[in-house]
Chain A
Amino acid sequence: MTRSDAPSLEPAKLLVVDADGRMRHLPRSALESLFMPGDLVVANDAATLPASLHGTHQPTGEPIELRLAAWVSMHDPTRFDAVAFGAGDYRTRTEDRPPAPPLSIGDRIGIGPLAAVIESKHHRHPRLFRVRFLGSRATVLAGIARHGKPIQYAHRPEPLALWDAWTRIAADPIALEPPSAGFALDWRILDRWRRRGIGFATLTHAAGISSTGDATLDALLPFDEPYRIPERTAAAVNAARSRRGRVIAIGTTVVRALEAAAKSTGRVEAGDGVATGRIGPETPLRTVDAIVTGVHQPEDSHYQLLRAFAGDDVLSRISRALREHRYRDHEAGDSVLIERLAEASSDASMVPKTPPSNMTWDGHRFSDRPLCQSSGAR
Chain B
Amino acid sequence: MQNEIDLSGLRVAVTGGTSGLGLALVRLLAARGARVAFIARTAGPVEQIAGETGACGIVGDVGRKDDIHPIALQVAGNLEGLDVLINNASSLGPVPLVPLADTECEHLELALAVNLVGPFRLTKALFGALAASARAGHGAAVINISSDAAINAYPEWGAYGASKAALHHLSAIWALEAAAEGIIFLSLDPGDMDTPLHAAAVPDADRAALKRPEIAAAEIVHALAAALPSRIMAVAP
| Chain A interface residues (CB < 8 Å from chain B) | 45, 47, 49-50, 75, 77, 137-138, 141-142, 144-146, 161-163, 166-173, 187, 190-191, 194, 201-202, 204, 230-232
Contacts and interface: CB of A to CB of B under 8 A. Distances in A.
Contact of A171 (B71, B131, B180): B131
Contacts of B56: 138
A187 B123 CA distance: 14
Contacts of B66: 161
B87 to A, nearest CB: 18
A162 to B, nearest CB: 4
B77 A173 contact: yes
Interface stretch (B132-140, B152-160, B206-214): B132-140
Given A163-B125, A173-B76, 11 more contacts: A137-B78, A138-B74, A141-B78, A145-B73, A162-B70, A170-B129, A187-B177, A187-B181, A201-B135, A202-B135, A204-B132
B76 A172 contact: yes
Interface string B50-89: 0000001111000000101111111011101110000000
Which 4 A-B pairs have CB atoms at the shortest separation, nearest pair first?
A145-B70, A162-B69, A171-B129, A171-B132
B128 A191 contact: no
A234 B129 CA distance: 19
Contacts of A166: 69, 125, 128
Contact of A163 (B58, B69, B129, B177): B69
A49 B73 contact: yes
Contact of B80 (A75, A145, A202): A75
Does more than half of chain A's interface fall in helix, strand or loop, or is it mixed? Answer: mixed
Contact of A172 (B77, B127, B137, B180): B77
A142 B180 contact: no
A144 B74 CA distance: 9
A55 B56 CA distance: 26
Contact of B128 (A75, A137, A146, A167): A167
14 contacts: A45-B132, A47-B128, A137-B78, A138-B57, A142-B70, A146-B70, A163-B125, A169-B128, A170-B129, A172-B81, A173-B73, A187-B177, A202-B135, A232-B137
A53 to B, nearest CB: 14
Nearest to A165: B69
A64 to B, nearest CB: 22
Nearest to A46: B128
A75 to B, nearest CB: 6
B62 to A, nearest CB: 14
Contacts of B69: 145, 161-163, 166
Does more than half of chain B's interface fall in helix, strand or loop, or is it mixed? Answer: helix
Given A75-B80, A172-B80, A187-B181, A145 B135 contact: no
Nearest to A147: B70
A194 B181 CA distance: 10
A142 B80 contact: no
Given A172-B76, A172-B81, A142 B58 contact: yes
B181 A162 contact: no
Nearest to A162: B69
Max chain B CB contacts within 10 Å: which of A137, A172, A230? A172
Nearest to B59: A142
Interface string B99-140: 000000000000000000000000001011101100111000
Contacts of A144: 73
B145 to A, nearest CB: 24
Contacts of A138: 56-58, 74, 78
A289 to B, nearest CB: 21
A296 to B, nearest CB: 24
A59 to B, nearest CB: 30
B128 A141 contact: no
B74 A142 contact: yes
A141 to B, nearest CB: 5
Contacts of A169: 128, 131-132
B78 to A, nearest CB: 6
B124 to A, nearest CB: 9
A77 B74 CA distance: 11
A123 B19 CA distance: 51
B229 to A, nearest CB: 14
Contacts of B59: 142
Contact of B76 (A137, A171, A230): A171
A192 to B, nearest CB: 11
B58 A47 contact: no
Given A169-B128, A171-B131, A194 B180 contact: yes
A129 to B, nearest CB: 23
A49 B70 CA distance: 9
B128 A162 contact: no
B76 A47 contact: yes
B36 to A, nearest CB: 12
Contacts of A191: 180
